[in-house]
Amino acid sequence: MFMAALILILSTGLFFFYLQAVCQKILRRQFSQEFFQSIVNANRLEFPSVRKAIEDFGSPVEYPRLTLTLKCDFLALTYLLKNAANVNQRYSYEERLLIVYFKLMFASLVTRHWLKLRETPAALKLTAILEYFANVVGERVNTVRFGNLTASDYLLNL
């Protein structure tokens, strides 16, 4: 009985650990270039400044602003993921998984704030997810062709 209870507790914990590991592995994907920067500039997203604040000062900006910024960026990027240069107009499996992961990490950020624990690791993970989304959108936009032009060529010819 004791053995079964121990197995149940450990297995449940490890299940969530592996789920997180899969998400982290997906986030490690290397893109051929930093596509996210153009998407950030074009849509005035704020997550890079949040990350810079954390890296420079060791702590995020004030909590209400942090949550609002991350939530707004998340909404903008998930909309773009679904609608910008996406022929099928639906998320892929890994995007769905990362959306769930973002929501769980966001819940973790809120919980950490309530419990007065360090919010920095959760905030950094959230910005990493947003950067991945922005890279995916940027990569798609970069490969879309307007006639014989890529999106970049098109912009250059404006």
Partner 1 sequence: MTDQILIHGLQYGIYVLEGALCLLLAKQGAWRSRLGFCVYVTLLFVLDGVARPAVLDHFGRTSMQFAYFYWLTDVALAMGAFLLTCGFFRRACAREEKLWRFVRLLLIFVFVLVVAISALSLTRHYTQLYTVFIVEFSQNLYFSCLVLNTLLFVMIQQFAIEDDELGLLVCGMGLQFAGEAAGLALLHLTSGGDFARELFSFLNPICTLGMLITWIYAVTKTPQSVPVDSLAGKQTALAEAVLE
Binding site residues, partner 1, CB under 8 A: 1, 4-5, 7-8, 10-12, 14-15, 17-19, 21-22, 25-26, 28-33, 35, 37-38, 41-42, 93-94, 142, 150-153, 155-156, 158
In contact, 68 and 96? CB cutoff 8 Å: no
Residue closer to partner 1, measured from CB, 66 or 128:
128
14/68 with CB nearer partner 1: 14
Strand ranges inside the chain, DSSP E: 145-146, 149-150
**Beta-ladder partners of 150:** 145
Least Å distance, CB 106 to partner 1, is 22
Q: How far apart are the first and last CA of the chain?
A: 72
CB 27 within 8 A of CB 128: yes
* Structural tokens at position 131: 């950067």
Q: How far is the CB of 56 from partner 1 (least distance, A)?
A: 23
Q: How far apart are CB 146 and partner 1 at their closest, in Å? A: 13
